[in-house]
Structure 1
Amino acid sequence: MAFSKFYFSAFLAFVIWGFFSLALKPLYAYASLDILFYRVFFCAVIMAFISLVVRRQVLRESLRTFRQMPLAQRRRTVVLTLAGGLLLTANWYFFIYVMNHISVKVASFAYLVCPILTTVTAYFVLSERLSFWQWTAVGISVASCLILSFNNWADIAYSLIVALSYAFYLVSQRKNVGIDKFLVLTIQIVFSALILLPFFSKYSGTIPSEPFFYEMILLIAVLFTIIPLFLNLYALQGVNSSTMGIMLYVNPLMNFLIALFYFHESINSLQLLGYALILLSIVVFNERHLFRRRSIAG
């Protein structure tokens, strides 16, 4: 039951992110940095208020737990938390830039590469074991990415930057244990805001006056940032990084459908084949849970 709860949290987070383009695309006229600035600042204010006012008891308990940790564990917690904030900042900026200035498909491709990178990184860094079928799913994923990158090699650089930043975030936060996950996320986003604050006056554009901009930023901050990120961190308590990596494929599959049916971006037969293989890889990777039988350990 507990595993199902964590598993559902991961799935729900990526489903929510699958609709992100619907909120982000209407802001295409605004600079990527401006969207990033306001997104992070809104998130930081909302989450700081919740942690300092609404969840004060949790804050006190987490501080007490932190003080009781051995010195080495405290240092590791601080490093992993702040590194997570830095990785999130980088991931958000590059994703917004690619989504609004390259294409929805290229942004989607970044999250096709990300599951492979996350799974392989978790294998080497966290020593997470994969079954025969899970390695088979990784192979299918690699094949799908090669098909989707055919004649689009220039897009791979953008995709790899976005993918690597989030893959490293997922793997690093798997090791970040002992502190309330919402508080960890609050610290990461506030840290992200502090990183961006010195650049705001120099690199931000004219302060937007349209209420629509702030309405969409508020929607992005709450629905497409705070909620799915918390679900991700919560899920990592019961789902390993490799599984989280493969679950990421829910996001690009939804982006693909939205790009095809809503934004009417052109899709060729190779791309259809590539996405079909991705869907197959999700099924193969999760065959033990989908078909309720034990996998042979690899």
Structure 2
Amino acid sequence: MKADNKVIGINKEKSDYRTGLICIIACHLLWGFLPVYWQALVPIPSGIIILYRMTTMFVFSYAAARLKYTREEVWGPLKEKGALAKYLAAGLLLTANWSTYIWAMTTGHMVQASIGYYIEPVVICLFSIVIFKEKITKYNGAAMFFALASLVLMLVHYRQIPGVALGLALTWGCYSAIKKTTKNPPVIELVYETMFYAAIALAAIFVTESRGIGALSLGVPGKYALMFLSGLVTLIPIALFGNAAKKVSFFMVGLAQYISPTITLMLGIFAYKEPIDRVQVIAFAVIWIGLVFFSYGEYKNYKGSQ
């Protein structure tokens, strides 16, 4: 009986790992293509977009939570010691990250944002080692080396640490660390992370609309519809990320984040005609060499566990 339970436990662990892997890849594919959505909202100011994103995010996350869980389950975390403080901190970091991201996507700073996304995995991987004491293999170490090399190459090329890049990296790295320590379903956690800040955003929406400087006065009907759906397109990848963060190693959470900036940077180059130079091409090559090492290491770990 004990042997059977052990086998069941191992199989469940493998199943959770596969689910987490699918979720982390899917969320970054969606994040990679989201700039197209935000570009469609121009010329509505980024500040107005952020207000609607925060408000509608709470609406959609609460609706999704109530579809799957009872009212008692949704509000149960309020009774957990220290949980509310964690969610307030996570929500603040998430709001700061969103604000920086939306501003960058709608004001021609897509390349800077991409650099930030390349920094994020390094921050997360360092957290995985320092905070969570996760062990890394030689393949993980090689992947991290190449990631750091590409980061140094890009930073030396730009001769500065861009504020957008640093802001995105630090806010998301800290948010990811908090998510690693929470235990509730991702969609319920999103309710708490957005609830308090959505109330502030809603008040700001009323003020801007009453003064004639809100989305109603600046956007056409189609754009206004996109504004209301901004919470939904935000909810899906974040929910996937929250699910994955609990099922895969924190190191994998970090390395997988190279997917979305690669897509975003490609969009900037080919869709929005942003220039690319030789240094950026070399940086891409270095990054993907690291990803080859990482993928091979994860494959060996998976085969070894079978």
TM-score by length of 1: 0.87
Letter in 2 for 1:211: P
Other-structure match for 1:106: 112
Structural mapping, 1:268-279, within 5 Å: 268-279=277-288
Deviation per residue, 1:102-145 (Å, 9 max, x gap): 42111111100000001101211111221222122111111111
Q: Which has the larger radius of gyration?
A: 2
Once residues 134 and 284 of structure 1 are traced to their aligned partners in structure 2, the CA distance between those partners, rounded to angstroms, is 7
Other-structure match for 1:136: 142
Once residues 45 and 197 of structure 1 are traced to their aligned partners in structure 2, the CA distance between those partners, rounded to angstroms, is 11
Task: Calculate percent identity across the aligned residue pairs.
Answer: 21
Structural mapping, 1:134-213, within 5 Å: 134-154=140-160, 156-177=162-183, 179-200=184-205, 205-209=213-217, 210-213=220-223
Other-structure match for 1:60: 72
Provide closer, same or farther for how the CA distance between residues 129 and 259 of structure 1 changes in structure 2, counting only shifts above 3 A: same
TM-score by length of 2: 0.85
Other-structure match for 2:268: 259
Q: Which moved more, 1:264-273 or 1:143-152?
A: 143-152
Once residues 64 and 108 of structure 1 are traced to their aligned partners in structure 2, the CA distance between those partners, rounded to angstroms, is 38
Provide closer, same or farther for how the CA distance between residues 203 and 110 of structure 1 changes in structure 2, counting only shifts above 3 A: farther
User: The residue matched to 1:149 in structure 2 has which SS?
Assistant: helix
Provide closer, same or farther for how the CA distance between residues 154 and 62 of structure 1 changes in structure 2, counting only shifts above 3 A: same
Provide closer, same or farther for how the CA distance between residues 64 and 188 of structure 1 changes in structure 2, counting only shifts above 3 A: closer
Deviation per residue, 1:254-290 (Å, 9 max, x gap): 1122112211211111101101211222221232334
| 1:121 paired to 2:121 | no
Give the gaps of 5 or more residues in structure 1. 68-73
Letter in 2 for 1:214: Y
Deviation per residue, 1:164-212 (Å, 9 max, x gap): 10111111100011x2221111221222313434544567733424212
Q: Which moved more, 1:285-294 or 1:132-141?
A: 285-294
User: The residue matched to 1:286 in structure 2 has which SS?
Assistant: helix
Shift of 1:77: 1.9
Q: Is the 8 A contact 2:137 2:297 kept in 1?
A: no
The one of 45, 52, 76 aligned to 1:38: 52
Count matched residues. Answer: 285
Once residues 239 and 59 of structure 2 are traced to their aligned partners in structure 1, the CA distance between those partners, rounded to angstroms, is 16
Q: Is the 8 A contact 1:33 1:203 kept in 2?
A: no
Q: Is the 8 A contact 1:40 1:193 kept in 2?
A: yes
Other-structure match for 2:84: 78
Q: Is the 8 A contact 1:122 1:242 kept in 2?
A: yes
Q: Is the 8 A contact 2:91 2:197 kept in 1?
A: yes
Deviation per residue, 1:47-99 (Å, 9 max, x gap): 223334x3352x423555764xxxxxx22322222211111000000111122
Q: Is the 8 A contact 1:283 1:290 kept in 2?
A: no
Q: Is the 8 A contact 1:140 1:278 kept in 2?
A: yes
Once residues 245 and 165 of structure 1 are traced to their aligned partners in structure 2, the CA distance between those partners, rounded to angstroms, is 14
Q: Which moved more, 1:229-238 or 1:100-109?
A: 100-109
Provide closer, same or farther for how the CA distance between residues 65 and 212 of structure 1 changes in structure 2, counting only shifts above 3 A: closer
Shift of 1:101: 2.1
User: The residue matched to 2:40 in structure 1 has which SS?
Assistant: helix
Give the gaps of 5 or more residues in structure 2. 1-14
Provide closer, same or farther for how the CA distance between residues 145 and 64 of structure 1 changes in structure 2, counting only shifts above 3 A: closer
